[in-house]
Homo-oligomer: A and B are copies of this chain.
């Protein structure tokens, strides 16, 4: 059967490298700090709510069939209240989804999805870029924020903060510039705030903290990383009523149509869990889990810093972005795997701007992170 090479993204290649490594060193225990998947148990108050909801489906009074495609009203209001109280986004502007990736896919904003439907333009081997996409180069030299005065206009600006993979959160000033840029160009911002719960230093947790953002942005977010819901699947998109096409038509009406046509709502059990996450007790318990991962992040930062390396991220996000100037990110990935039996992700896998970097994830049991730190320090 033919093998289509273009089908093999970086994650496939990492799996392949991992497989080869286990064949070569069957005795060694690999520590996986590659894929950013949550590892810690979900607080009991949240899983109990889901268990209770599930059991209720066996009763006449508790059974529910189709819910609203936009999500349960109570959950939509709880999301608005918990995350957008101060910026005035209301429950009827929240669309519950089965996760940020799925919503972004429906928005066709993700590069891979654009490639599939043939809207990304031609791929250029020399640059590693698609012709139909403008890349915003975010590197230490520019404080992980593009020089907007040199950016061309696009219909959609996809921006993720705290950023995956760099772990960097945009400042209030940077986001103000972004909103002004979008407004001046008639662009729409798709703002991914899936890691907002990890922000510790006062950077905006929502694009809507920026005045005027409601007229140019929608925000896609998720329970995945905030509540360990990666397998349970729950997220949301906030679409302000103020956001309108150039002809004055509200985007929220088209978004509603998309939700009702392409989607039948997130799982009702997941939504019951989401509601428990947003209760005071659930929310406090989740903050402890976030704190646990951020302690891991500190351990990883210190390990790489002790090797004399320049380290970014890990302060407002569970990702650490380590710089190896002049090195190929695949070479660094291979050396760390070979010598420390630790899996990371080569930066180039996230796009051409990631060369010379690796991404290290802080998701993991602390004992594994400590062992990884020991191995790194002894390199």
Binding site for B on A (CB under 8 A): 1-2, 4, 7, 35, 37-44, 46-48, 50-52, 54-60, 62-67, 98-99, 101-102, 105-106, 110, 112-113, 116, 228, 230-233, 248-250, 253, 257-258, 261-270, 273, 363
Contacts and interface: CB of A to CB of B under 8 A. Distances in A.
A262 B52 CA distance: 31
Contacts of A37: 65-66
Contact of A264 (B2, B39, B46, B99): B99
A7 to B, nearest CB: 6
Contact of A267 (B35, B42, B65, B270): B270
A96 to B, nearest CB: 12
A266 B233 CA distance: 7
A65 B265 contact: no
Given A2-B249, A249-B2, A269-B270, A113 B66 contact: no
A263 B55 contact: no
A45 to B, nearest CB: 9
Q: Which 7 A-B pairs have the closest CB atoms?
A: A231-B268, A51-B51, A37-B65, A105-B262, A50-B54, A65-B230, A267-B267
B51 A54 contact: yes
B233 A63 contact: no
A302 B46 CA distance: 47
A267 B231 contact: yes
B51 A39 contact: no
A284 to B, nearest CB: 16
A38 B113 CA distance: 34
B47 A54 contact: yes
6 contacts: A51-B55, A54-B54, A102-B264, A116-B258, A233-B266, A267-B267
